[in-house]
């Protein structure tokens, strides 16, 4: 039997950017503590005189454990086309740093009554790839893999056996400790 759950949030703020920051931070914190992968995302963004509201709901399949996250951009341009190109450029730069799959995305244009101004909001849900290759990894690959393992366990380094991780990756425990320090994690 597949075990599914829904994670969601609603955040209101003075503007879209702040509402997105708060919603993404809340959901990414929940995702870090939840095993599984994102199978679906629904979102909405509204903006008006009273401020902005962001609503995001995710479906998580607990049977496939993977690092996962959501991220967003909110870009302004002189037209929808320009705003979208800027948003795409920023999202694609973030995606280039990840290996995995897009589980869902949301696109919204907001055109206020100001001349030559449009906003493009993109929200993307990503399941990161769990690398299969183990052995001689570059420093960056090793730290990337260690960071992914930590995210799977809610960023708590106490739940992993560092000696076993070091042996699996073919390095010393001291090297793993240095990697943890570089990742900003204290054991």
DSSP at 129: P
Q: 21 pLDDT exceeds 80?
A: yes
Closest residue by Cα to residue 36 from 7, 16, 75, 64: 64
**Do the domain assignments include residue 133?**
no
**Do the domain assignments include residue 123?**
yes
Report which of residues 146 and 122 the model is more confident about: 122
Q: Which tens digits make up the pLDDT trace of 57-81?
A: 999 998 777 889 999 999 999 999 9
Q: Is there a single domain that holds both residue 94 and residue 165? A: no
Q: Is there a single domain that holds both residue 14 and residue 101? A: yes
> Are 46 and 28 in contact, with CB atoms under 8 Å apart?
no
- Residues contacting residue 174 through CB under 8 Å, at least 6 positions apart: none
The whole-number pLDDT of residue 150 equals: 77
**Do the domain assignments include residue 187?**
no
Q: Is there a single domain that holds both residue 76 and residue 156? A: no
Q: Which tens digits make up the pLDDT trace of 30-44?
A: 998 888 899 999 999
Q: Is there a single domain that holds both residue 122 and residue 146? A: no
Q: Is there a single domain that holds both residue 105 and residue 15? A: yes
- Out of 106, 128, 150, pick the residue that ends a domain: 128
Please name the residue that has the structure tokens 């002189």.
78
**Do the domain assignments include residue 81?**
yes
Q: Which tens digits make up the pLDDT trace of 125-182?
A: 999 886 665 556 677 777 777 777 777 777 777 778 888 887 777 788 888 888 888 8
Domain that holds residue 112: 4-128
Q: Is there a single domain that holds both residue 85 and residue 8? A: yes
Q: Is there a single domain that holds both residue 162 and residue 120? A: no
**Do the domain assignments include residue 173?**
yes
CA distance 40 to 28: 15
Q: Is there a single domain that holds both residue 103 and residue 52? A: yes
| Residue 186: strand, helix, or coil | coil
Instruction: Return contacts of 26-33, CB within 8 angstroms, 24+ apart.
Output: 27/56, 27/58, 27/70, 28/69, 28/70, 31/7, 31/58, 31/60, 31/68, 31/69, 31/70, 32/151, 32/154, 32/155, 33/154
- Residues 13-25 have a mean pLDDT of 97
Beta bridge partners of 169: none
Q: Domain total for the chain?
A: 2
Average pLDDT value over all residues in the chain: 88
Q: Is there a single domain that holds both residue 149 and residue 89? A: no
Q: Is there a single domain that holds both residue 92 and residue 33? A: yes
> Are 111 and 117 in contact, with CB atoms under 8 Å apart?
yes
Q: Is there a single domain that holds both residue 154 and residue 86? A: no
């Amino acid at each position: 039997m597949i075990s599914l759950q829904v994670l969601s949030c609603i955040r209101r703020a003075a503007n879209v950017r702040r509402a997105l920051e708060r919603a993404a931070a809340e959901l990414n914190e929940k995702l870090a503590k939840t095993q599984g992968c994102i199978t679906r995302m629904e979102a909405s963004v509204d903006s008006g005189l009273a401020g902005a509201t962001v609503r995001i709901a995710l479906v998580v399949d607990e049977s496939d454990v993977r690092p996962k996250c959501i991220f967003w951009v909110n870009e302004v341009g002189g037209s929808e086309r320009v705003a979208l190109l800027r948003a795409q450029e920023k999202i694609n730069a973030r995606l280039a740093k990840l290996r995995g799959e897009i589980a869902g995305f949301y696109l919204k244009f907001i055109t206020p009554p100001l001349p030559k101004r449009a906003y493009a909001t993109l929200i993307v849900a990503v399941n990161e790839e769990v690398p299969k290759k183990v052995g001689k990894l570059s420093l960056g690959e090793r730290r990337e893999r260690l960071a992914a393992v930590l995210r799977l366990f809610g960023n708590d380094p106490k739940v992993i056996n560092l000696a076993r991780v070091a042996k699996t990756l073919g390095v010393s425990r001291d090297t793993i400790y240095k990697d943890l320090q570089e990742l900003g994690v204290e054991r």
